[in-house]
Structure 1
Amino acid sequence: MSTRETWTTRAGFIFAAVGSAVGLGNIWSFPFQTASNGGAAFLVVYLLAVFLIGFPTMLAEFVIGRRSEQNAISAFERLGFSNWTFTGALGVFAAFVTLAFYSVVGGWVLRYIVGSLTGAYFGDTAGYFAAISAGPGAIVTHAAFMAITIGIVAFGVADGIERATKFMIPAIIVLLIGLAGWGATLSGAGAGYSYYLSPDVDVILSNFGSIVPSAMGQAFFTLSLGFGVMIAYASYLGSDDSLPGDSAIIVVLNTVVALLAGFAVFPVLFSTLEDPTTTSGGMGTAFTALAGAFGQLPAGQVLGFVFFVVLLFAALSSSISLLEAPTSYVVDTYDYDRWKIAVGVGVVTFVVGVPSTFGITWLAFYNDLVFNVLLPVAVFLIAVFVGWVADAEAFDELGRGSVVGDVPGTAPLTTIWLWWVRVVVPIVVLYTLYLGVTSLYTGLTTGGYF
């Protein structure tokens, strides 16, 4: 069996992990989830979810990955708990399902880049979206996006994933800063910032049942938690890397990109829409609302092109991590060429995603299944495993390459983290899962999907 790949630099790992986290969820979904869930009210709950639940869970996945030096499924067997491999399998399955519909949305982005250059969507944004989001054309762009993703993963960890994300992540940040700066000059910037940054406690309390599962699902999705991705990425790390330090950098950069997306989008919405607060978080609204907004602004074609290029980079930086989760399992388990595995897994994923090109309802169902059920279950199992099942020696992994546990007075930080993962994370995630399952059940029984 060939030698297992590793990251060439610490920065390469951070860019790849940030790339996995910074995806369509941050730039496509986050602003519209925020707009339709009370603005700053959603933002507050989302930030709490990211730092109080997402950050410690990311550390748990990193501990499993680097300790085992294996993919998400084989990791549990390597650690001596083969009866827990189903946890990793669930995460890989979630990544597989997500990529199946995610690639369809990536195909939409490709069409909107072309549409921005020609101005094709300016006259009838709803009609344009309806034309490109379903049917044979959607299948073709779905295939094109998946082909690009397969090509990057096939080149390997260092030459494919690391090299691509080292380019895409700085490009995303620079372009978003430019868009946010331009947004500050628009007439609706002040109202947009107020809605985005001024939380109303009453809105949080009165909409708690809907905001919490949306914010938690958004946090898990944007941090790539529960997919097995972070376990796989951490398995390529060296022992001198600081897991707490790297996790903090990844979480902060991911949050910065999400916030920048809001600063870029809200001034546009409040400058061009009559009531942006009624904007739905639905699958197509992000495209139709923004496309219509760009059509009303000076240099709209250029601005639309830049925005959708950012969206493409974000989509690809996450899609390659979602494909890497199942690919790494097959690479670690069987002595096949990586490119053959990437192509095989990618083709199967493409086929599974084809129903999402028939209409928005299939895509919405896949999305809610992942957000509301699969990710919370996977995160809950990870927390239980690390907190109550794993060998105590595994926690030494947290201190390798960092000051935690090496300097007098810092060891209690590991204990605090462990008990937080043992108690707080499972309770919060179980509550979120209850709300999510209830929402999914309601959608299924009332005809909300099909």
Structure 2
Amino acid sequence: MTRETWATRVGFILAAVGSAVGLGNIWRFPWVTAENGGSAFLLVYLLVVLAVGVPGLVGEFVIGRRAKRNPVGALRDLSGSRGWAVVGGLSVLTALVLLSFYSVVGGWILRYFVESLLALAGGPLPYATEPGAYFGAASTGVDALAYHLVFLGLTAVVVLGGVRKGIELGTTVMMPLVFLLLVALTAWAATQPDAAAGYAFYLSFDLSTLERNFLSILGPAAGQALFTLSLGAGTMITYASYLGEDRSLPFDAGAIAVLNTLVGVLAGLVVFPLLFSLGVDPGSPGPGALFVSIAGAFARLPVGTLVASAFFGVVALAALSSSISMLEIPVSFLVDEFGLDRRRAVAVALAVFAVTGAANALDSAVFQLFAVTLVDRLLTAGLAAFLLFVGWVLGKDALEEFRRGAGDFASSLGPAWLFAVGVVLPLFLVFTLLTSLGLDTHVGFWPTVAAAVAVGLAAFFGLRSSNSVV
């Protein structure tokens, strides 16, 4: 079976940006920022994106382009080990967790978007009068299940079209629309009363907050960076496996990170000025920041219905572009490993996600487990494993892949990149994972650092026989 490839470089970049740009930027980013000190969180987040996100993207790209297979097959074939195939299987599990709750949230967005469009015909915004009660009723139950299935169906239609006629075509249309609508909303938000207070909350750096709460901010910032860049789930391995020519992987990773971060920052420039202009608490946690605070605010605006339609349209497009990449992971796995054609692979994956998503739609406790407890830790562990694979199993082969298609300057950074992904970043990710589990609270900062180093040394000696970065 001939493996599909991206038609154009722009198509690949927009598809990868579409995977990265999603609810992580617009739904999750504002409320995680607000919960963790606003500007202090933003600073740490940007540093993590630069220091961890971009090298991590390149690492996943290296695996995918070199193997031309899904994460399971890629790690197995490149290492010759079934044990690494099990590690690759973690990405399929992570995709299962991600899309199971993501499609439910996508269903919420779809519902709010449809109702906003219907309100343009002259009716009221049904979610604006009592936004808290409305969201409570809409977020769980039969209606949530129905919209989850519709959203999942839309995702499957795009993936069914394949790489070029489905994913690339869809994201090439959707992503420019997302950027244009967000820029327009940002310009509009700047005209609202007290917008400056929103900017101050969002952009004024508070170093004292960092000094007091750095560790408590670091974990959420790292989790948010991995979530929003689609790292650790094997998405970028899968997308890079469709690369059919030599490209500059460092350039592509940098472009994707910049565009993705730009969307997150623009979303904050819309959300926070709007909340402050209407006197709404910007620290409303969880989905309430989007589905309660902001949704309720639209009824109080002169052109609230039109703005609501544009806003939820942006979020719906962003959510769909990301869910496409999540579904592609198990579809690629089924095609590569079991020889299914794309139609059957999509049908099998769709049936699984319909069931797991239903559990999230019908039980808020299951949703909380998937969306809050599991996802950040799975992404962190997954990326750490992928980077250890690049550094200690691929080694010099990874460096060769890094340099393919890259210019002289990028090529000169190869050894530093390889050392970072093989040693520094896995230690950081393990430390972040341990702090997310509360180890630093129970035993203290330095014992947690020691534990992270111990895990890193275990990986070092366990994989020492492979190609080395040192």
Q: Would the TM-score normalized by the shorter structure come out above 0.5? A: yes
Q: Which residue in the other structure is 1:7 paired with?
A: 6
Letter in 2 for 1:40: S
Q: Which residue in the other structure is 1:448 paired with?
A: none
1:210 equivalent to 2:202? Answer: no
Q: Which residue in the other structure is 1:349 paired with?
A: 353
Does structure 1 conserve the Cα–Cα contact (< 8 Å) formed by 2:94 and 2:375?
no
1:195 equivalent to 2:201? Answer: yes
* Shift in Å, 1:421: 1.1
* Shift in Å, 1:293: 1.4
Letter in 1 for 2:27: W
Give 1:138's match in structure 2, choosing from 140, 144, 152.
Answer: 144
Letter in 2 for 1:279: S
Q: Which residue in the other structure is 2:448 paired with?
A: none
1:19-30 equivalence runs, <5 A: 19-30=18-29
1:272 equivalent to 2:278? Answer: yes
1:346 and 1:51 map into 2 onto residues whose CA distance is: 35
Query: What is the TM-score normalised by the length of structure 1?
Result: 0.93
Letter in 2 for 1:116: S
Q: Which residue in the other structure is 1:227 paired with?
A: 233
1:169 equivalent to 2:175? Answer: yes
Describe the superposition over 1:320-351 as per-residue Cα deviations: whole angstroms up to 9, x where unpaired.
00000111011112332201211210111120
Q: 1:316 to 1:274 in 2, by over 3 A?
A: closer
Q: Which residue in the other structure is 1:445 paired with?
A: none
1:357-372 equivalence runs, <5 A: 357-372=361-376
Number of residue pairs matched by the alignment: 434
Describe the superposition over 1:50-102 as per-residue Cα deviations: whole angstroms up to 9, x where unpaired.
11001101101000000111111100122133221122111121011110010
Q: Which residue in the other structure is 1:446 paired with?
A: none
1:385 equivalent to 2:389? Answer: yes
Q: 1:298 to 1:209 in 2, by over 3 A?
A: same
Q: Which residue in the other structure is 2:336 paired with?
A: 332
2:138 and 2:89 map into 1 onto residues whose CA distance is: 34
1:142 and 1:247 map into 2 onto residues whose CA distance is: 31
SS of the residue 1:226 aligns to? coil
1:95 and 1:205 map into 2 onto residues whose CA distance is: 35
Q: Which residue in the other structure is 1:65 paired with?
A: 64
Give 2:293's match in structure 1, choosing from 284, 289, 295.
Answer: 289
Does structure 2 conserve the Cα–Cα contact (< 8 Å) formed by 1:133 and 1:359?
no
Letter in 1 for 2:6: W
Describe the superposition over 1:385-439 as per-residue Cα deviations: whole angstroms up to 9, x where unpaired.
1112224123211111121xxx3x7644101101111222012111110122239
1:398-417 equivalence runs, <5 A: 398-403=402-407, 407=408, 411-417=411-417
Q: Which residue in the other structure is 1:52 paired with?
A: 51
* Shift in Å, 1:36: 1.7
Letter in 2 for 1:113: F
Give 2:162's match in structure 1, choosing from 153, 156, 164.
Answer: 156
Does structure 2 conserve the Cα–Cα contact (< 8 Å) formed by 1:273 and 1:293?
no
* Shift in Å, 1:274: 4.2
2:328 and 2:422 map into 1 onto residues whose CA distance is: 28
Q: Which residue in the other structure is 2:315 paired with?
A: 311
1:204 and 1:241 map into 2 onto residues whose CA distance is: 38
**Gaps in structure 1 of 5+ consecutive residues:** 443-450
* Shift in Å, 1:373: 1.5
1:292 and 1:176 map into 2 onto residues whose CA distance is: 20
2:372 and 2:281 map into 1 onto residues whose CA distance is: 26
SS of the residue 1:207 aligns to? helix
Letter in 2 for 1:428: F
Q: 1:226 to 1:283 in 2, by over 3 A?
A: same
Query: What is the TM-score normalised by the length of structure 2?
Result: 0.89
Does structure 1 conserve the Cα–Cα contact (< 8 Å) formed by 2:395 and 2:418?
no
Does structure 1 conserve the Cα–Cα contact (< 8 Å) formed by 2:27 and 2:287?
no
1:246-265 equivalence runs, <5 A: 246-265=252-271
Letter in 2 for 1:168: M
Describe the superposition over 1:271-321 as per-residue Cα deviations: whole angstroms up to 9, x where unpaired.
113432x321x1343211110111111110110111001010000000000
Describe the superposition over 1:237-281 as per-residue Cα deviations: whole angstroms up to 9, x where unpaired.
1232111111111011001111111111111011113432x321x
Letter in 2 for 1:438: G
Letter in 1 for 2:329: A
Give 2:131's match in structure 1, choosing from 121, 125, 128.
Answer: 125
1:95 equivalent to 2:95? Answer: yes
1:410 and 1:218 map into 2 onto residues whose CA distance is: 27
Does structure 2 conserve the Cα–Cα contact (< 8 Å) formed by 1:239 and 1:400?
no
**Gaps in structure 2 of 5+ consecutive residues:** 120-124, 443-470
Give aligned-pair identity as a percent. 47
2:355 and 2:411 map into 1 onto residues whose CA distance is: 49
Describe the superposition over 1:106-144 as per-residue Cα deviations: whole angstroms up to 9, x where unpaired.
000111012323311121111111121111111100100
Does structure 2 conserve the Cα–Cα contact (< 8 Å) formed by 1:213 and 1:372?
no
1:185 and 1:140 map into 2 onto residues whose CA distance is: 38
Structure 1 window deviating more from structure 2 (108-117 vs 56-65): it is 108-117
Describe the superposition over 1:187-227 as per-residue Cα deviations: whole angstroms up to 9, x where unpaired.
12100111111110111222223211111110001000011
SS of the residue 1:402 aligns to? coil
